[in-house]
Structure 1
Amino acid sequence: MSIPPSPPFDLAAERATLGAILLERDAIVVVASFLTPAHFYLERHAQIFQAMLTCYQRREPPDLTTVAAELRRQEQLELVGGMSAIGELAAEVPTAVHIEYYARIIERTAVGRALIEAAGQIAGLGYDDSRPIEDRLDAAAQHIYQLAAKRQIGQDFVALSQIVSEYFDTIQDTADEGDLLGLGTGYPDLDIISQGMKPGELVVLAARPGVGKTAMALCIARYVALRGHRVGIFSMEMDRELLAQRLVAMELGLATPHALRLLRRGDQTAINALARVSELPIHIDHTPSLNVMAIRDRARRLSSERRIDLWIVDYLQLAQGPSERDDEVRRITAVSQGLTSLARELRTPVLALSQLSRAVEGRAEHIPMLSDLRGSGSIEQDASQVWFIYRDELYNRQTEYPGMAEIHVAKHRNGETGMATLRFDRATTQFRSLSSRQISSVR
């Protein structure tokens, strides 16, 4: 019978790291950003490092005296071996110069142990034939996503010269957008207010059900794609074939049922429109209820194959958080923060659609407010821009402005707020810009 190999660990590296911190008070600064007590294999080493971090966070030098005092306060000094054990750690290390090298060994072995644990859980899923295969695959993926999320991978300080170079590249990429700082939407009035959808921004487009969130997102996606930019869409509500049907109908300028009838008849104009739509650089994932970590992972994979200039998520409240036990507020907070991180990591705008709460319906004034964002105040906090769609005809049958839609830019972190007026064509589910004469008559 073979003996299973022991999990990876390096006690010498753990002792060297702890000793270096005791020897040189500033050594902890080098490792505090990535090393955690959970990375240590030996429990007493983890307790000592936690005491060091506590001292560091109190702006006390984590030396022999302060660390021992903190362990004594936590009633752990004797558990780690007393003052003599801590003194031995400091005596073993001649210099603190190599602390990051040893700390990275600790991190690497901890990740190895976590991978082994995750592999065991995934193996268990393989044997559990009582669950649907889709559930098991999602659970297996979630184990890996959670492991990746625990490892904080960031970027240290960057020289201003590099930042300026990247900024110039961004300007060049959007040179065809005129004076805009980001991608245009195809609606000049809205673009003047928003200055475009900028790299690294989370832009939230919100409305009540049936107002036209998906329709407007598709109009924007089509406009961006027609200008040669690539678009990635996570459609958790609508099937990808239905999205394709809508795009063909937009191309023909017809209602979707009419466009579908023409295609079935083999109408050449409709077939040509279908061919043009097929060439649009748009990629669609229609997996329902995707985990936010799965969204980020799939976005990274597609971005590694080809540059994506705009991500669209339809819609935010349908995405799942990292934990199945989270309530709605925590889940939506995790999703909102995850999409913000995705935008910043890939340096790409993310247009996330969002539902509004029923509070809109209960007011005399039905124009949405930031407090109407459903599920969590973190959406308002995380978003760089928040746009609301308001159509008066949905609340007022006697409206003076049938077919009109107001796009309210209610939040704009780096610019002005305001309102753009568009026309909504219900038959083709398209939003269209108004002429200057039409805008004047509305206002």
Structure 2
Amino acid sequence: MKLSAPIYHLKRRAKALSREKGISLNQALDHIATEEGFNGWSLLAARASAPVHAVELLNALQPGDLVLLGARPGHGKTILGLELLLEAMKSGHRGVFFTLEYNEGDVLNRLQMLVGDPAVIGDRFEFDNSDAISSDYIMKQLASAPRGTAVVIDYLQLLDQKRENPELATQVSALKSFAGDRGLIIIFISQIDRSYDLSARRCPDLRDVRLPNPVDLKLFNKTFFLNDGEVRMDAVG
């Protein structure tokens, strides 16, 4: 779907609309997206990027990778996570989405918008939003997952919100080892600190990851960062 203007112009219009109507920027972005024919800004931002992004990004991954996928709100990180799962499933692999943020209807609706025909993925998609989600829970659920299974965890900063869960660094380290041992691709969706909005950099990077609790980000061996439809991929280390 062709946009009426470049995405950075649409974002400027949203900022002006936010000031004019006294509404939040996220509300204004969603309003602009609706005018452009999208159900929300995150979908617009993701679909406005080159359609081959998800294919190219997935092709850059290999079994055992631990990936950090980060963006500020409204820039399409959840959509990109689902697109990566979709491409993996098109290739015959399983796709698993763990979330402490969304309900099943939200995710299935987004996936439906992306895939069109559900027959493309068959029964290879699995959704899990259990309140028990933690590294131990995820590893238990994936105990029999075949090599090449793609996993998205939404999101990093919520994984240790319960006091009884291990520290975030311990959980990420455990999942890194698990991914390597089992040949899985595990992708963490991550929040980006608000301070990035004041940065002149085109895309955020590891310096901008919001970390309420410490974790060594070098545990991730690849990163995807999004901003205004642009995706930047880097190897860590």
TM-score, scaled to structure 1: 0.38
SS of the equivalent of 1:205 reads: strand
Whether 2:174 is the aligned partner of 1:338: answer yes
Name stretches of at least 5 consecutive residues in structure 2 with no aligned partner: 1-51
Mark the structure with the bigger radius of gyration: 1
The aligned counterpart of 1:315 is 155
**Aligned partners of 1:389, 1:363: CA distance in 2, in Å?**
14
Matched residue, 2:91: 227
Contact kept in structure 2, 1:296 and 1:342, CA below 8 Å: yes
Q: Which whole-Å CA distance do the structure 1 matches of 2:200 and 2:60 have between them?
A: 32
Shift of 1:311: 1.5
* Residue aligning to 2:78: 214
Q: 1:288 to 1:389 in 2, by over 3 A?
A: farther
For residues 34-433 of structure 1, the aligned pairs below 5 Å read 186-188=54-56, 190=57, 196-252=60-116, 273-274=117-118, 276=119, 279-288=122-131, 290-300=133-143, 302-303=144-145, 309-320=149-160, 324=163, 331-365=167-201, 367-375=203-211, 378-391=215-228, 405-413=229-237
Over 3 Å counting, the alpha-carbon distance change for 1:202 and 1:307 in structure 2 is: closer
Cα distance, 1:196–1:377 mapped onto 2, change above 3 Å: farther
How large is the Cα RMSD of the aligned pairs?
Answer: 2.7
* Cα drift, residue 196 of structure 1: 2.0
CA distance in structure 1 between the partners assigned to 2:204 and 2:65 by the alignment: 22
TM-score (norm. length: structure 2): 0.68
**Counterparts of 1:359 and 1:339, CA distance in 2:** 29
Which structure shows the bigger proportion of residues in helix conformation? 1
Cα–Cα, structure 1 residues 185 and 338, in superposed 2: closer, same or farther, change >3 Å? farther
Q: 1:332 to 1:248 in 2, by over 3 A?
A: same
Contact 1:221–1:231, Cα closer than 8 Å, also in 2: yes
Task: Name the CA shift for 1:244/1:278 in 2 (closer, same or farther; >3 Å).
Answer: farther
Q: Tell me how far 1:292 sits from its aligned partner.
A: 2.0
Distance 1:307 1:381, change over 3 A: closer
The answer to whether the 8 A contact 1:232-1:308 is kept is no
Classify 1:251/1:198 alpha carbon distance in 2 versus 1 (closer, same or farther; 3 Å): closer
Deviation track 1:107-164 (CA, whole Å, cap 9, x = no partner) reads: xxxxxxxxxxxxxxxxxxxxxxxxxxxxxxxxxxxxxxxxxxxxxxxxxxxxxxxxxx
- More relative contact order, 1 or 2 (CA 8 Å, 6+ apart): 2
Secondary structure of the equivalent of 2:167?
Answer: helix
Whether the 8 Å CA contact 2:95–2:125 is kept in 1: the answer is yes
Q: Percent identity?
A: 23
Contact 2:89 2:95 in 1 (8 A): yes
**What's the CA shift for 1:377?**
5.9
- Deviation sequence 1:15-34 (CA, Å, 0-9, x none): xxxxxxxxxxxxxxxxxxxx
The structural deviation recorded for 1:364 is 4.0
**Counterpart contact for 1:204–1:385, Cα < 8 Å:** yes
Please give the alpha-carbon distance, in whole angstroms, between the structure 1 residues aligned to 2:147 and 2:164. 35
